[in-house]
Amino acid sequence: MLNAEDIKGLIPHRYPFLMLDRVVELKEGEFIKAYKNISINEEYFKGHFPGAAILPGALIVEAMAQAACVLLKKSMTDLQAALFYVTNVKVKFLKPVVPGDQLYIIVKPVKIARIGGICETEALVGNETVAKGEMTFACK
């Protein structure tokens, strides 16, 4: 299990763009399970559908990408200083995410190579999938 401070030691993101609160399970090279608590106090809710707040899809993608980067970093121990960049995203959004939800993220690698990787991603609220897709990453 990794807390927010542990996560900050692996990826460069900081508030307000650190989109993971905790990693609850990680098996190197196989999967990561993490979550983000969605709070009405987040700044983006002031301007994203005021009066009917929903989490922007781009931030759901960002949360999934950050989880994937943590998985790739932990799986590729010889590249601990490397940065991973998203190079391709194919995500389908199925349901809205609203304040009070806990966004649960599951990422599994399809392919891991020295130059990056491809990951299957899924975001859930409760037992319902809210977004799923595939992301490709390059390593620098």
**Of 108, 109, 97, the residue nearest 36 (C-alpha):** 97
User: What class has domain 4-139?
Assistant: alpha beta
Q: Which amino acid is at 84?
A: F
Per the structure block, which two tokens stand in for 6? 């542990």
With helix as H, strand as E and coil as C, how does 117-135 read?
A: EEEEEEEEECCEEEEEEEE
Name the catalytic one among 48, 74, 95, 108.
Answer: 48
How high is the pLDDT of residue 53?
A: 94
How high is the pLDDT of residue 79?
A: 64
pLDDT by residue, tens only, the chain of 140 residues: 999 999 999 999 998 899 999 999 999 999 999 999 999 999 888 888 888 999 999 999 999 999 999 999 999 877 666 889 999 999 999 999 999 999 999 999 999 988 889 999 999 999 999 999 999 999 98
Residues 123 and 103: beta-carbon distance below 8 Å? yes
Residues 92 and 86: beta-carbon distance below 8 Å? no
How high is the pLDDT of residue 31?
A: 98
How high is the pLDDT of residue 120?
A: 98
How high is the pLDDT of residue 111?
A: 95
Residue 48 annotated to the active site: yes
**Of 132, 127, 84, the residue nearest 107 (C-alpha):** 132
Enumerate the domain spans of the chain. Answer: 4-139
For residues 48 and 20, give the distance between their C-alpha atoms in angstroms, rounded to a whole number: 20
